[in-house]
Structure 1
């Protein structure tokens, strides 16, 4: 650089400007070829986590700000599975954003009433109401939605945050995690479509919806299914027709009861050991982080999008890329 500037002093002014412009243009091209602020890392066609570029300087990711689609002020929302864990954190964050009321749907009456009592003490009387709902029953979901809308007005936001990890009872597990999610999503989508005002549905899957697991294959299958279900309901064609956004969030390993002693409920003893090793190898985050991410997606998330919250960072996942890079065989047409 010093040698270049010394050379510029010996030449005329027009040539000096021309040489300087060439030098700056070349440096701009070299800079653009380097990735300093890469928000995602592509793994098997999916952008799952921030890329780690080898550099002496530490570069920080710059969060992207999207347009706001939805304001929770004076709105009615539903959180299925809001008695504890991520669902409770989401209900708390929704009320913090000045929502009129949150309906907590759940199977455990004691936990549901305790959650509503805690939220009402924090935000005011009748800001949270509980309805006993079993997601394996379509009637329970429809009746609870009708009761809540009759009492508090049109519901405009649904959060489906529930699930179990029980490999020994894998049929019940799939019925709850996958079929139950399908029931609640279909019921919410039908309701929001009939109101003709649109709305938003946020479904939570999990870290095993993005990666395979040797310890809990049935849980992994259900979470993969939730992603396919939500992304399909969120396609632009359906969104334009119904004005209902459907968004998927995959929380990283979170401090909830989902995987507590899950190794004892695994399909086999060996799978239980594998699951324990997988859980211990992952860094855990607080449920409040996921609750904040859910509310952010309600406000800013694009329909059909897939997101991951990991280590307090929210990343958008791109799973639409199919990489055909290795050809192993060819067969006659």
Structure 2
């Protein structure tokens, strides 16, 4: 069976579908296997009998981007989810990853670790402050001059400081908008397209009473990504824009967060909320980002929580279940 599917890589996507359907028709006993399996880090495995979670259905996916010999940018790649994404991108034999960040020491350490693992000059660091449009554009130009065209941008950065919430919003939301606009303009001008992954968070889908400003920024990132990723934008620019919403991840973002909340009461609410939620490692998010770079549809929103990734289907206007009152229009 594995040999059969491995040969499909050399066949056009349309023929792949026909061959797969013919194969499953001839092997009815395998249908139960495919419907009862799930993917874990790219590997197919059978769930245990005690696993009552939603079953993963088999899908035939079109690959938008092969990362082999490609150049990518990871903003916020010094640590956490960004570093995990850079690591996974290079593990797919990318040409180089440009790490953009404000912390020079951590950025150089991250590049050193990646270069030791994947080879000399596989990761390069550029000092970038996301609150400065000039910093972002200059770093993109320098990376392009040295390594040619950039095909992928991953924006994975956030801070939490409720006591300085204006700077928090300027970094998390306005900074994300600056990066997305600069990346989209660059990829559109190249006329060859590309992909942008914007990291939001689970609190862009549900409220966070302990930090309304973090939730506001994450909601805004989803709206930003969906608007840039609409069909009319994609057809014009050939640039995919996708939002990923990680659940609580083992990073420094919410470490001792209750001490930095806007008020003591919000700090208590935040500590309680985070304590109740399941955690995941940054590596799970790194794998999710690479998967979306390859297969994600433009304008889509994804949630990864506890290592499980879900495509969000709910649109606000389609979620109205009850007409409550009507006024003259």
Q: Which range moved further: 59-68 or 93-102? A: 59-68
Change in 2 beyond 3 A, CA 1:147/1:302? same
CA deviations on 1:35-90 (whole Å, 9 max, x unpaired) are x99x9xxxxxxxxxxxxxxx999475124432111000000000000000000000
Aligned to 2:142: 147
Aligned to 2:24: none
CA deviations on 1:1-57 (whole Å, 9 max, x unpaired) are xxxxxxxxxxxxxxxxxxxxxxxxxxxxxxxxxxx99x9xxxxxxxxxxxxxxx999
| Separation in structure 2 between the aligned mates of residue 211 and residue 192 of structure 1, nearest angstrom | 32
Q: Does 1:135 align with 2:147?
A: no
Aligned to 1:110: 105
Figure out how many residues of one structure are paired with residues of the other and give that number: 282
Change in 2 beyond 3 A, CA 1:184/1:58? closer
Among 40, 55, 58, the residue aligned to 1:61: 55
CA RMSD after TM alignment: 1.8
Among 194, 197, 204, the residue aligned to 1:199: 194
Alpha-carbon distance, 1:326 to partner: 2.4
Q: Does 1:322 align with 2:318?
A: yes
State how 1:155-304 maps to structure 2 within 5 Å.
155-304=150-299
* SS at 1:322 equivalent: helix
| Separation in structure 2 between the aligned mates of residue 59 and residue 264 of structure 1, nearest angstrom | 36
Tell me the TM-score normalized by structure 1: 0.82
Q: Which range moved further: 221-230 or 64-73? A: 64-73
CA deviations on 1:260-283 (whole Å, 9 max, x unpaired) are 011111000000000000100001
Aligned to 2:10: none
Unaligned runs of 5+ residues in structure 1 are 1-35, 40-54
Unaligned runs of 5+ residues in structure 2 are 1-34, 39-48
Tell me the TM-score normalized by structure 2: 0.83
Change in 2 beyond 3 A, CA 1:83/1:60? same
Among 313, 320, 324, the residue aligned to 2:308: 313
Q: Which range moved further: 106-115 or 305-314? A: 305-314
Aligned to 1:49: none
| Separation in structure 2 between the aligned mates of residue 59 and residue 263 of structure 1, nearest angstrom | 32
CA deviations on 1:152-190 (whole Å, 9 max, x unpaired) are 010000000000111110000000000000000000000
State which structure, 1 or 2, has the greater radius of gyration over its C-alpha atoms: 1
Alpha-carbon distance, 1:319 to partner: 2.7
Aligned to 2:21: none
Which is bigger in relative contact order (C-alpha 8 A, separation at least 6)?
1
Aligned to 1:26: none
Among 66, 72, 80, the residue aligned to 2:75: 80
Change in 2 beyond 3 A, CA 1:108/1:57? closer
